[in-house]
Chain A
Amino acid sequence: MTKRIVIVGGGTGGTIVANLLARNLYRQLISGQVVINMITDKEDHIYQPGFLYVVFDKVRPDEIVRKQKDLIDPHVNLIVDPAVKIDRDNNIVITKSGREFSYDYLVVATGSRIVPENIPGLKEGAHQFYDLEGAKKLRDTLRGFDGGRIAVTIGVPHKCPVAPLELTFMLYDYFKQKGMLNKVELYYTYPINRLHALEPVSNWTVPQFESKGIKYETLFNMEEIDPAKKVVRTMEGSELNYDLLVAIPPHKGSQVVIDSGMGPEGWVQTDKRLLKNEKYNNVYVIGDTTDIPISKAGSTAHFQADVVAERLSSEILEGAASTEYDGKVVCFVETGFEEATYVWFNYNTPPNPAPPSRMLHWMKLGYNRLYWLSARGIL
């Protein structure tokens, strides 16, 4: 009897799972014993870490976009039609156009989205670089910026926790190259009581900021923005004036998850090692969609996709699976235009950042190109 796999979501996690499964289950796909349907709401696949480079004109927007159909193994059925309902009790996914896809196994990889509207004034008063349009708009604004305070603020929750830090370091080098450091004040803020969630990264950042004259404030959680007065007000009771505000909006999970009763904020309950949804043994969850207290990042989705593809392949081919997710995350961290560091950690091993170097920066630039091999399940 044919086994049907449905993958909802065509981002990093969903795409890697689809391509790895297509390789592992090649014979079964050819013979019709297995069918893989990928349901996604977008025709394009965007390499989101590239937004940071778009801001500084280091990458052109079209370099970080590919057609999803060009990334997916031809044995996977690609359905570009947003999922609007996931019925786990009846093993069916329903799309916007009304099509129904039944499944034996489901992978929920619907990701996260920015919700600037959740903080009053944010949409009107702030720039962001967490989507392509925002990155291009910030790039254009920076080109014409003639001086003043640039504040970086961060909503909770947010994905790619190192990106705001990278942006700040790159802003410094950007204005240094333009000979404008005497006209620009960089002011970085962070929601908790240090400069980054990872304590070693935070400890390394403090002297870096102080030597560069980058000001900072911690325990800073945006409550509202007053775009007319150019003021950020916080939950903690402080106020910050700005000339240019770059605010990472808070994030939320996808609407289909919320509408399907799988999690009010769009995050789905997920076993941190098996990556399965509680009570539904045939439902896997990966990437930003999970409620696991771990970084929402492409790297997380990538390593979880490896695990889910292995588990699903074993379940179908062998009847059982033993591979588990150990919490692995790897992040490059740009520390300016010339150098980078990286961190890796898992549930049991704390991070220990490498000393920043040009080599790591080049590796990061290299990975920006190699990503398309990762998406195809090759790297």
Chain B
Amino acid sequence: MTNVKIDKTIDARGSACPGPLMELIKTIKSVEVGTVIELLSSEKGTTVDAPAWIKKVGHEFIGIKDGDGYWSIIVKKIK
């Protein structure tokens, strides 16, 4: 995962509303298939919610990295 090239970063740290997952949904709708997105969230719940949504809609969940007080969720749009 460390070698994955990030095409787009969404910095949703501190975003209460609409929140990190909504930011991811917004972005994934607007980018090209094949784009790798990194979602930064300071909300621990995103590490569960975002992968669950990614898998449900059929995109590729690449992984999660721990940051300093935040998490980085990486996803690839595949359809």
Contact = CB atoms under 8 A, between A and B. Distances in A.
Contact of A264 (B23, B29, B30): B30
A191 B19 CA distance: 11
A191, A235, A250 — most chain B CB neighbours (10 Å): A235
A293 B15 contact: yes
B17 A345 contact: yes
Given A193-B49, A193-B52, A264-B30, A351 B22 contact: no
Contact of B12 (A199, A293, A327): A293
A198 interface: yes
B18 interface: yes
Interface residues of B, number: 23
Interface of B: 10-12, 14-23, 25-26, 29-30, 45, 49, 52-53, 56-57
A295 B57 contact: no
Nearest to A351: B16
A102 B17 CA distance: 36
Contacts, number: 69
A198 B17 contact: yes
Nearest to B53: A219
A293 B25 contact: no
Contacts of B56: 219, 236-237
Main SS of chain A's interface residues? Answer: loop
Given A157-B26, A221-B25, A264-B30, A295 B18 contact: yes
A333 to B, nearest CB: 12
A220 B26 CA distance: 13
B57 A293 contact: no
Nearest to B45: A199
A93 B20 CA distance: 34
A347 B14 contact: yes
Given A293-B10, A329-B16, 5 more contacts: A192-B19, A193-B49, A193-B52, A293-B23, A327-B14
A59 interface: no
Contact of A157 (B10, B15, B22, B49): B22
Nearest to B12: A293
A294 B52 CA distance: 23
